[in-house]
Structure 1
Amino acid sequence: MSRSLCFMILFFIPFSTCLNQEIRYLQQLKLGFDDPDGFFSDWTGGNPCNWTGVNCSKTANAFIESVDFSNANIAGPFPAVLCSLTGLKFINMYNNSIYGTLSANLSSCRNLVHLNLAENLLTGNIPASLSELPELKYLDLNGNNFSGDIPASFGLFRKLEAISLVDNLLDGKIPAELGNISTLKQLNLSYNPFSPGQIPPEIGNLTNLEILWLSGCNLIGPIPDSLSRLSKLLDLDLSINKLTGPVPSSLTELSSVVQIELYNNTLTGELPAVGWLKMPALRLIDVSMNMLTGTVPEELCSLQLESLHLYENELEGKIPEIISNSSNLYELSLFGNRFSGELPKDLGKNSPLTLVDVSNNLFSGKIPASLCSKGGLEELLLIHNSFSGDIPASFSTCRSLKRARLGYNNFSGEIPAGFWALPQVSLLELAYNSFTGAIGKTIAEAGNLSTLNIANNMFSGELPDEIGLLDNLIEFSGGNNHFSGEVPASIVNLEQLTKLDLHNNELSGWIPSKINLLKKLNELNLANNKFSGNIPDKIGELSVLNYFDLSGNQLSGKIPLGLQNLRLNQLNLSSNSLTGDIPPVYAKKIYITSFLGNPGLCGDIEGLCDGKNVTRNGGYVWLLGSIFVLTGFIVIVGMGWFYFRYKNFKNPKESIKSKWTLMSFHKLSFSEYEIMGALDEDNVIGSGASGKVYKVVLGNGETVAVKKLWRGSKNDDFINESGSGSGSGSGSIVDNGFEAEVETLGRIRHKNIVRLWCCCSTKMCKLLVYEYMPNGSLGDLLHSGKSGLLDWPVRYKIAVDAAEGLAYLHHDCVPAIVHRDVKSNNILLDGDFGARVADFGVAKVVDGKEKGGNLMSVIAGSCGYIAPEYAYTLRVNEKSDIYSFGVVILELVTGKRPVEPEFGEKDLVKWVCPTLDQKGLDAVLDPKLDSCYKEDICKVLNVGLLCTSPLPINRPSMRKVVKMLHEIGSINPLKFESKDGLLTPYYYDDGLDHGSVA
């Protein structure tokens, strides 16, 4: 045997032995994961260097060098066995369901260069021993649930170039020791609930730093001048904090910086007037949502900026003309300041503008004709200024335009024909100006138009038939103009139309007879025109119509009985020439103003049918007869009054059946007297300090739930509409709670919001009549012996239903509604376990004007569900509801109440994370749930943890929550049937139309 052959044999024996050992390590790793998508399916034998996610070194004396399990949809604890692969340099497990704690023995991965565990479910502290990895350059732990401090030992890293800990639960302070990592190029700590603290001045020692992201880190105090030493910095993001003081002039020393983001702080003073020319690379500056004053520096506008965001400050003066010279500018957002004067006349001439938002300022003069010169303008938002003149003819060729809001100005003149025809425009708002002329027939080409608001102008002429070609039109508001002629018959082709408002015009003719084809119509306002003829019978087929006003016209004939099929919050048929009887549903005193000014109308309402003429021949006889009748009536009434006074004295409880006022919100098949007749103790299904809840079976077989609120009750107990239980928490003070509930539920419609049929009231008590929910409340069912009925598919469906109901309140109601008492007892279940959000006794409308939320005088909510920031700031917004909903998700996953004796002084939120950390996932899951759904349960649990983040900014919107829950169901479809059919996904809208008004 030759010497070379012996050498080869001696070489390959240890190589083969080591390779086999590393195969065993990988097989051990594979057994530790749930792998529903078969990511490890080819890990069966042969050369591991060919296995999915495994890469080997090309050198002869090293083996497995890299494992990449990113987006593999695997679940399990972090595999500590990885560090037995002595040649391992690269670990990537991005976007999986890795849970538990991060093992301290990672420090034995001595050759590790790259570690990416982002977007997983890891909990506990970040191991301090990570700093012992001598070769580590890249550390990404984004999107987990790490808590505690950033270890001070991180200052000992030798070669670390990038560290990213975004979107965790880190709650200490940012350690000054990070300033010792001289090799660091990227530092990203954004969106963690750190304790309030200042930016460590030592960060200025990181002279190699290129990216510094400290957004949403609870930072306070001034921006330190030491940051000016970061000569290589490209991106500085200190947004969404509580930084105070001025924007330091020392920042202009950052000669390499490309973008600066300081928005949503409390910075004051003026922007530095000079020094900006030292920053030739600056492309984006965002200092919006602060308290800055003064003017915009001309030096700043002389840079080749791409984005300039100064919105929502207290800036004033003119915008420097020199900004028109920028050949890069595509975003100019200045809304919500006190800017005045004219916009630079050449703005857009040299710039590829896509967004111009200067709403809510004091601008005047004409719109620069050059805004769309480069043909890329998509959003033009000018509302609430004092602009004048006409719309430039050049805008007729701005085919890129998608949103045009020119309302609330002093514009005049006719609209260019091409402007009506822009093919991409979805929102066209011209309201509250002095535009004249007619709507151009060219509007037929605006195929993407969904909202057309031209109200309060001086438009005239007939509405063109071409409007009926706008298949995507949802809202058409043209009130307070001078339109004439008939409403085009083609308007009934607008199948998506929800709002048609043409009040205060000079329209005539008949209302289109086929108006029933507008199946989605919610608001119809044709008041104060010259319409004649009958009210079409088929209007009663508009099942979602909520607002109906035909007052001030020349309509005649009878009121169609079909109107009784409508569920109206607003009805006005006054000042017409209608005749005959009022339909019985509306023949009530509360509707009297809806019918005034129709002499021929008659109904059982005091004030109508009065003034009948008396013949002269029988006048005296009639008078004498009337006197006798009146005298007898007085005697009878007096005796009746005495009898009832005596009866009530003997039996005061019967006095509640005296005179009731009924207000209905849907078509009713019962009367208030049928309800009152069933309010006896045998029908009580729930009670509390503020009253009782009754189950009432009506004569037609239907069942309703009746909440009786007594005047003078205390805000002690929650009264569940289902009548099941009365757990502690917030209730409804009768007056305020009754009004809040009626006002809220009376005007909203959603399949996942409990339906309020009607309300009745007297001086003694008030009644709320709801749809009956046979399965009671989620809280009572989940925390009782019947919880076995709630398997995981049912629980998941309940979570989705409740989320959609809250998303409707937050995103689809204008203005938004905050429930303020979201909890499992306020989520009711129908016979198929469909969920409805209920009890709006403490709900509040949120106008969005208050930064951080609207200030409340007292805390509303229930123990264990109240968001931490609400408890100490008394400011409420949608994020408060999202926290409470997150607690409900944790209840569904764990089966535990928000407050349990086993938690000690903690609540459910504070119990889940440490338990996950110490004992793993199985320790928090409800043992009644089938383990085959473990993967989906884990993902829903993660949604709950996001919703209950201590920092409000970290909580997703309810629309985003709905989207995440739907995605869980679409990736792994859950096996349940829904009577409503397939769930409809939401698509997240970040609401960038900052200049919008309701």
Structure 2
Amino acid sequence: MLLHLSFFFFFFVFVPVLSLNQEGLYLQQVKNGFDDPDGSLSNWNPHDTTPCNWAGVKCDSSLSVTTLDLKSQNLYGPFPLLLCRLRNLTFLSLSLNSINGSLPLEISTCQNLHHLDLSQNLLVGTLPPSLPSIPNLIYLDLSGNNFTAQIPPSFGSFQKLQVLSLLNNLFNETVPAFLGNVTTLTTLNLSYNPFSPSSIPPEYGNLTNLRFLWLTMCNLVGPIPPSLGNLHRLIDLDVSINDLVGPIPATITSLSSLVQLELYSNSLSGKIPAGMSRMTSLRLFDAAVNSLEGEIPDDLCQLPLVSLHLYENRLTGRLPESIAASPGLYELRVFGNQLNGTLPRDLGRNSPLLLVDVSDNEFSGEIPDGLCAKGVLEELLIIDNKFSGKIPASLAQCRSLLRVRLKGNGLSGEVPASFWGLPHVYLLELAGNSFSGEISPLISSATNLSLLLISDNQFAGGIPAEIGSLQKLVEFSGSGNRLSGSIPRTIGKLELLGRLDLHNNELSGEIPAEIRSCKKLSELNLAENELSGQIPPGISYLPVLNYLDLSENRLTGEIPIELQNLKLNRFNLSSNRLSGKLPPLYANERYRESFLGNPGLCGDLQELCSDSQRSETKSHRLLWLLRSIFILAGLVLVVGVGWFYWRYQNFKKVKKGTDKSKWTLTSFHKLGFSEYEILDCLDEDNVIGSGASGKVYKAALSSGELVAVKKLWGGSKKGDEEEDERRRRISDDLFRAEVDTLGKIRHKNIVKLWCCCATRDCKLLVYEYMPNGSLGDLLHSSKGSLLDWPTRFKIAVEAAEGLSYLHHDCVPPIVHRDVKSNNILLDGEFGARVADFGVAKMVEAIGKGPESMSVIAGSCGYIAPEYAYTLRVNEKSDIYSFGVVILELVTGKPPVDPEFGEKDLVKWVCATLDQKGVDHVLDSKLDACLKEEMCKVLNIGLLCTSPLPINRPPMRRVVKMLLEMMENKPKPAKKEGRLSPYYYEDGSDHGSVV
């Protein structure tokens, strides 16, 4: 027994107790200072002897910590200064977390750091000027934070720094020239900062070791300094999306190592410099959206280019034949110039062309037959040129094609039969040519086809029944051809069909009753054909139909009374053989022209009845007249009272300063009312809304129709002349923008502007009335439960289609600039209309002078981050705002709310997803069974609200994603060829479909 006690005493006295070393204790304190909701640091065990086996930790042979890599671990908290006590720490990465607060000055005590990455966090304040005192610092990445003010001048004194990335912060002083002193730099990235207007410092020409120079969207002005030609090791030069002017300096051509040259979206002018052949490594040359002139140099096209982007310049001459010899060329975008001649005959034979867009030029000749020789061509756009001849037979075998747009040329001959049936094409546009022949039954193989646009050609023969196989078809426009035979009954299988336009053909037979199955049909135009039989009553069951034109046919029988159920913006049944009485809703003067040329029709409208019918009507009127004699005295009394009331009302309006004789009315559609009816409804009892621009009235017209009247604010009540003038100027700007925009465009998802009325001091805008008000008011009120998920999804799609029309199908494109849920109005069926274009601008007008920004655009919570500090707007600004609307639909929450603290909806969603998961983001009022679909829409909203504009998809792509999100379709492989980690090709479209 004594022996055993002696043993235990010896063990506890002489065997040392194992415990965590000092560096491990420091890391334990760091762990305690973080909020770690995902348990990323759960294996940091305080009972270990060293931290060398902990997550993210590496040690040297002496068990001292050298590396701490906690990238993307969802950690929250301030920067842990204790890390600087790790005497051998050389590598520190805390990127993609939520490190907040300011970066302490004492960070310079991390004296042994070589690599410091704090990117994509929530750091604020100014940069510590002490950072350059870390003697061996080689890599410094502070991008994606909220650092403000200026970059400290001390940053020009780094001794060994090679990589400096300050991308996407809030620096607002000038671009610092002193960084040109850090000659050890190999990478300098200052992109996406709201610098005050400044030029590219010529001192950057001293950075002879530089390999990457990124200055995208830095508010740069002035010319490109010739000194950049000294950067002979440069691989990527990106100065895009600025206001640079002047020519491309000739010294640029000496950059023989340059792989990517990105100059797009500036105001550069002059010719592309000679000597480009010296840039033997160049693969991407992007100088799009500038004012470059002259011809494309032949020596540029002799380079082994991968992408050539010269669109929307003023280039002339021919496209050099040498471009066809570039072995790696996969993108050729030269649209929107004045180029002419023929395309190189061998284009595509030597290179894997994916995209060719030469639209809006003056090219002529035939389409080269080798464009798809490598079998990978996806997009061919040659809109509005002078091409002639036939579609090459080789293109009919190009099964990789996704988008084909040949509109507005002189192409002719028959379309190859297999061309109709290309399996992956979703847009086939042949309109405005001289094609002949028939639509091949092989079109049934085009299972991905969404848009079939073949108007204004010479197509003949019948529409094949196989067209009913196109389950994804959204639009079929075939007007202005010689199509004959009957409309196939299989048309009823097209459940997604939204527009069917076959007017001005030779179609015969009856309108198929099966068309009632096309529940998404909003436009049906079968005018100017030889259709016969009766109008199918089933048309009245198309819930979103707002355009119906069956005029100039041979239709007979009565007009189905059920057509009264439709809410039509356009209605025309004239020049047929219809008979009987008009449905009561249409028996008023407003619709008279909709029924002219139908001798058998009768109703209360003049010139519609036959002689016998008119005689019978006269006898009834005589009987009514005899009866009216007995109440003549009463009528006199009523007239007297009415006259007195009219005089009294007229006196009141004159007293108010409203003289009807001075009003000017401008109509944009055929009206069934006058300005006097509108003015009589401007009563405070009829006010249904009030905003920054004026009041909105609900006006009930004598026809029974309802319209909405916006009265823009006039002068101030205080009699302040300066304030009156300011208000009048703003009112004029809003009025002009609204009229210029809505007066010219027509789309089912854009609110209709009936007319405008104006005097010097008052302006009225008359719109179609939306019974369900605005999406914002409905969604964020007690009535939000009315909006179930299918309805919300429908609203998202329709609003997206309206914005897509503005961005892609209007020439020039239109930027709304104030997209928000309160500017999306809902009709009686919850159909969406984009409204309020008071601050809208056409893209070509934006930024052309101070007047273009006379009205500050955007609303709190919807403003894209780049607009807040650059005051620049383009389509990407609208896309961000629409992304916020999507988040509202998914979450049910407003764009700003006290619940979010200092965050807005976008930041709240991102933070909540990271901390709590998607279940805490989705609106609890929605059916949880649809969670998967809601999550997909949520992802689209997050993509649209990306902080970097270039990452946001164009609206046409947003529409396509919304429509296709339910399909488990494999995505095409990501294209290679870009070196910049911050570049994402947005695939934006251009040109007009309509």
Q: Name the TM-score class by shorter chain.
A: 0.7 to 0.9
Alignment length (residue pairs): 892
**Letter aligned with residue 921 of structure 2:** L
Partner residue in 1 for 2:58: 56
Distance 1:380 1:890 in 2: 35
Distance 1:728 1:249 in 2: 50
Q: What is the CA deviation profile of residues 195-230 of structure 1, one whole-angstrom value per residue up to 9, with x for unaligned ones? A: 111111111111111111111111112211211111
More displaced stretch, 865-874 vs 205-214: 865-874
Distance 2:774 2:177 in 1: 59
Deviation, structure 1 residue 507 = 0.7
TM-score, normalised to structure 1, is: 0.77
Mapping of residues 7-406 of structure 1, within 5 Å? 20-47=21-48, 49=51, 53-60=55-62, 62-273=63-274, 275-406=275-406
Deviation, structure 1 residue 171 = 1.1
Cα 1:877/1:191, change in 2 over 3 Å: closer
More displaced stretch, 981-990 vs 302-311: 981-990
Distance 2:826 2:29 in 1: 45
Partner residue in 1 for 2:536: 536
Q: What is the CA deviation profile of residues 803-830 of structure 1, one whole-angstrom value per residue up to 9, with x for unaligned ones? A: 9997565335554765556689879999
Deviation, structure 1 residue 517 = 1.1
Partner residue in 1 for 2:992: 997
CA contact (8 A) 2:802 2:834 kept: no
Cα 1:245/1:468, change in 2 over 3 Å: same
More displaced stretch, 22-31 vs 482-491: 22-31
Distance 1:807 1:969 in 2: 29
Cα 1:963/1:734, change in 2 over 3 Å: same
**Letter aligned with residue 93 of structure 1:** L
Cα 1:771/1:104, change in 2 over 3 Å: farther
Distance 1:499 1:829 in 2: 20
Partner residue in 1 for 2:838: 842
CA contact (8 A) 1:383 1:995 kept: no
Q: State the secondary structure of the residue aligned to 1:131.
A: helix
Distance 1:852 1:446 in 2: 43
Cα 1:687/1:199, change in 2 over 3 Å: closer
Partner residue in 1 for 2:946: none
More displaced stretch, 90-99 vs 353-362: 90-99
Cα 1:797/1:608, change in 2 over 3 Å: closer
**Letter aligned with residue 859 of structure 1:** S
CA contact (8 A) 1:855 1:874 kept: no
Cα 1:547/1:829, change in 2 over 3 Å: closer
CA contact (8 A) 1:140 1:163 kept: yes
Cα 1:40/1:284, change in 2 over 3 Å: same
Cα 1:569/1:279, change in 2 over 3 Å: same
**Letter aligned with residue 97 of structure 2:** N
Distance 2:388 2:301 in 1: 25
Q: What is the CA deviation profile of residues 114-165 of structure 1, one whole-angstrom value per residue up to 9, with x for unaligned ones? A: 1222222222212211111112111112222221112221111111111111
Q: What is the CA deviation profile of residues 9-29 of structure 1, one whole-angstrom value per residue up to 9, with x for unaligned ones? A: xxx999x88x53333332332
CA contact (8 A) 2:487 2:512 kept: yes
Q: Of residues 923, 930, 938 in structure 2, which corresponds to 1:976?
A: 923
CA contact (8 A) 2:37 2:915 kept: no
CA contact (8 A) 1:577 1:600 kept: yes
CA contact (8 A) 1:757 1:770 kept: no
Cα 1:333/1:503, change in 2 over 3 Å: same
Cα 1:736/1:292, change in 2 over 3 Å: closer
Distance 1:443 1:20 in 2: 74
**Letter aligned with residue 487 of structure 1:** I
Mapping of residues 793-812 of structure 1, within 5 Å? 809-811=802-804
Q: State the secondary structure of the residue aligned to 1:267.
A: strand
Distance 2:461 2:881 in 1: 53
**Letter aligned with residue 836 of structure 2:** F
Distance 1:624 1:824 in 2: 56
**Letter aligned with residue 136 of structure 2:** E
Cα 1:654/1:992, change in 2 over 3 Å: same
Cα 1:761/1:292, change in 2 over 3 Å: closer
Q: What is the CA deviation profile of residues 396-438 of structure 1, one whole-angstrom value per residue up to 9, with x for unaligned ones? A: 2211111111110000001112211211211111110000100
Deviation, structure 1 residue 232 = 0.8
More displaced stretch, 335-344 vs 987-996: 987-996
User: Quick one: percent identity of the two aligned structures?
Assistant: 46
Q: State the secondary structure of the residue aligned to 1:531.
A: strand
Distance 1:639 1:289 in 2: 72
Partner residue in 2 for 1:907: none
Cα 1:731/1:889, change in 2 over 3 Å: farther
Deviation, structure 1 residue 522 = 1.6
Distance 2:715 2:865 in 1: 22
Cα 1:217/1:968, change in 2 over 3 Å: farther
TM-score, normalised to structure 2, is: 0.77
Distance 1:641 1:582 in 2: 31
Q: State the secondary structure of the residue aligned to 1:519.
A: coil
More displaced stretch, 246-255 vs 862-871: 862-871
Unaligned runs of 5+ in 1: 1-11, 666-671, 698-703, 718-726, 782-788, 899-924, 944-961
Cα 1:594/1:49, change in 2 over 3 Å: farther
Deviation, structure 1 residue 168 = 1.4
Distance 1:498 1:381 in 2: 24
Distance 1:623 1:526 in 2: 38
Distance 1:402 1:219 in 2: 38
Distance 2:396 2:122 in 1: 53
Q: State the secondary structure of the residue aligned to 1:308.
A: strand
Q: Of residues 627, 645, 648 in structure 2, which corresponds to 1:647?
A: 645
RMSD: 5.5
Distance 2:797 2:732 in 1: 24
**Letter aligned with residue 163 of structure 1:** L
Cα 1:361/1:398, change in 2 over 3 Å: same
Partner residue in 2 for 1:901: none
Cα 1:561/1:23, change in 2 over 3 Å: farther
**Letter aligned with residue 472 of structure 2:** N
Deviation, structure 1 residue 281 = 1.2
Q: What is the CA deviation profile of residues 696-742 of structure 1, one whole-angstrom value per residue up to 9, with x for unaligned ones? A: 99xxxxxx9997766x961769xxxxxxxxx9998799987997999
Q: State the secondary structure of the residue aligned to 1:491.
A: helix
Deviation, structure 1 residue 463 = 0.9
Partner residue in 2 for 1:903: none
Partner residue in 2 for 1:417: 417
Q: State the secondary structure of the residue aligned to 1:842.
A: coil
Distance 1:13 1:535 in 2: 99
Cα 1:967/1:421, change in 2 over 3 Å: farther
Distance 1:745 1:304 in 2: 44
Distance 1:841 1:249 in 2: 44
Cα 1:806/1:435, change in 2 over 3 Å: closer
CA contact (8 A) 1:778 1:825 kept: no
Deviation, structure 1 residue 799 = 13
Q: What is the CA deviation profile of residues 354-408 of structure 1, one whole-angstrom value per residue up to 9, with x for unaligned ones? A: 1111110010001111111111111111011000000111112211111111110
Q: State the secondary structure of the residue aligned to 1:304.
A: coil
Partner residue in 1 for 2:959: none
Deviation, structure 1 residue 757 = 13
Distance 1:71 1:805 in 2: 37
Distance 2:315 2:684 in 1: 65
More displaced stretch, 232-241 vs 598-607: 598-607
Q: What is the CA deviation profile of residues 590-640 of structure 1, one whole-angstrom value per residue up to 9, with x for unaligned ones? A: 222222212222334455437657779x99x99999999999999999986
Cα 1:890/1:467, change in 2 over 3 Å: closer
